[in-house]
Amino acid sequence: MKNKEKPVLYIVIPCYNEEAVLPITEPLFKGKIDELISLGKIDEESCVLFVNDGSSDSTWDLISSCAKNDTHVKGISLSRNRGHQNALLAGLMEAKDLSDITISIDCDGQDDINAMNEMVDRYLEGYDVVYGVRSKRETDTFFKRFTAESFYRLLNWMGAEVVFNHADYRLLSKRVLNEFAEYREVNLFLRGMIPLVGFRSTSVYYERNERLAGESHYPLKKMLGLAFDGITSLSIRPIRMITGIGVLTCVLTFIGLIIALIKGNSLWIGTCLICLLLGITITAIGVVGEYVGKTYMETKHRPRYIIAERTYEED
Ligand code: UDP
Ligand code: MG
């Protein structure tokens, strides 16, 4: 059942050492809440929820003082730095019971907050997930654009379903979050996991700006780490590739062996036999890996299905 009243919106914002940008963006987020309330789209109880991800600068002091001065601003602080994805999850799980919808966004002003109006409209039309998608990446450097776009292509090729050019700017309904709470894995890659939950989803498009102040926390090393986590936590395709290489080696060397036998070349026969054994070994590793991969997926204890609607009310 959809909530008939106006929805309570929580804007969830992870912050790590953001003292330079928070004083600029905090009024913008708060202004957006006020605007959406006065437009009659969301409930008065709507809020901005900042998550302090163990910052070592004055970020938490800034958040606390904003929260003190304004009822539409709240904050939670993690015990230590846990990284963007964990901080975001903490915020979403906190907001889940307090709100009807959440919109997650970075605190650096790169994502256009005006797309939130359209996100809420889409929710009111009946969508449970609204992805914010960058329409162009002109403000990114060529290197960042190239690495990021290759990353999306690689992920999709590896079998992880991700929305092209969507990061972590998205609206989620309460029921999506309630179901998502059952995904108990430790390696988080939210943008690849949310599509697994299902429900009606759509995208809104926006232009991405430069960071308003401060510095990016995603240098190449962290970006590669995120890409690797994304692939390995969502897909066991790399293991399948090993099996594939093993089988291919076997087939090719088997053909080679037959040709060598016909020609009667003993050096060739020996070489092909060694290669064949190698192929069998690689295949065997792949097969073992397949079981390890299955076990890995099992240990996540993901829900096997999610019921979207019922013809009757649950109690
Ligand atoms: N962030 C976080 N914990 C971290 C690193 C980053 O909560 O360990 C937050 C950061 O404050 C920002 C968002 O995650 O709100 C995205 O980080 P950033 O803007 O540095 O990444 P980029 O946009 O350059 O990819
Ligand atoms: Mg950023």
Q: What percent of the chain has pLDDT over 70?
A: 94
Residue 75 and residue 36 in one domain: yes
The closest alpha carbon to 196, from 89, 274, 302, belongs to 302
Distance CA 288, CA 211 (A): 46
Average pLDDT (265-284) is 89
Residue 240 and residue 170 in one domain: no
pLDDT over threshold 70, residue 308? no
Q: Tell me, what CATH number does 181's domain have? A: 3.90.550.10
Rounded distance from Cα 215 to ligand 1 centre (Å):
9
3-state secondary structure at position 10:
strand
pLDDT over threshold 60, residue 261? yes
Residue 68 and residue 139 in one domain: yes
Residue 189 and residue 273 in one domain: no
Residue 278 and residue 251 in one domain: yes
Which comes out higher in pLDDT, residue 92 or 184?
92
Domain annotation covers residue 102: yes
How would residue 115 be classed by pLDDT, with cut points 50, 70 and 90? very high
Residue 286 and residue 173 in one domain: no
Domain annotation covers residue 181: yes
Domain annotation covers residue 227: no
Domain annotation covers residue 3: no
Residue 166 and residue 276 in one domain: no
Residue 284, CA atoms < 13 Å, CB-side half-sphere: 6
Tens-place pLDDT, residues 34-64: 999 999 999 999 999 999 999 999 999 999 9
Pairing type for strands 129-134 and 73-77 reads unpaired
Q: Which amino acid is at 119?
A: M
Rounded distance from Cα 226 to ligand 2 centre (Å):
14
CA 259 to chain centre: 51
pLDDT over threshold 80, residue 314? no
Distance CA 273, CA 200 (A): 55
Put simply, whether the predicted model's pTM sits higher than 0.85 gets the answer no
Task: Determine if ligand 1 sits within 6 Å of the CB of residue 122.
Answer: no
Tens-place pLDDT, residues 129-149: 999 998 876 667 787 778 778
Distance CA 175, CA 182 (A): 12
Point out which residues pair with 76 in neighbouring strands: 51
Domain annotation covers residue 272: yes
Domain annotation covers residue 258: yes
Q: How many domains does the chain have?
A: 2
Ligand 1, residue 105: give the atom nearest the CA: 15
Residue 254 and residue 122 in one domain: no
Task: Determine if ligand 1 sits within 6 Å of the CB of residue 56.
Answer: no
Distance CA 97, CA 315 (A): 18
The residue range of the domain holding 30 is: 9-151+162-217+304-310
3-state secondary structure at position 18:
coil
Closest ligand to the CA of 110:
2
Residue 170 and residue 266 in one domain: no
Average pLDDT (249-259) is 91
Domain annotation covers residue 32: yes
Tens-place pLDDT, residues 171-192: 999 999 999 998 888 778 898 8
**Ligand 1 atom 23: residue of nearest CA:** 216
Residue 111 and residue 181 in one domain: yes
DSSP code at position 183:
-
Which comes out higher in pLDDT, residue 115 or 313?
115
How would residue 195 be classed by pLDDT, with cut points 50, 70 and 90? very high
Distance CA 297, CA 47 (A): 36
Residue 204 and residue 240 in one domain: no
What is the length of the chain? 315
The closest alpha carbon to 49, from 114, 119, 99, 84, belongs to 99
Residue 101 and residue 240 in one domain: no
What are the DSSP E strand ranges found in the chain?
A: 9-15, 47-52, 73-77, 101-104, 129-134, 166-173, 201-206
Q: What's the mean per-residue pLDDT of the chain?
A: 87
Q: Which amino acid is at 233?
A: S
Ligand 1, residue 17: give the atom nearest the CA: 11
Rounded distance from Cα 96 to ligand 1 centre (Å):
21
Rounded distance from Cα 281 to ligand 2 centre (Å):
45
Which comes out higher in pLDDT, residue 306 or 31?
31
Rounded distance from Cα 62 to ligand 2 centre (Å):
19
Domain annotation covers residue 250: yes
Phi, psi of 152 (to 5 degrees): -65, -40
Which comes out higher in pLDDT, residue 218 or 259?
259
Q: What percent of the chain has pLDDT over 90?
A: 50
Distance CA 229, CA 54 (A): 22
Burial of 126 (0-12, 13-18, 19+ CB in 10 A): exposed
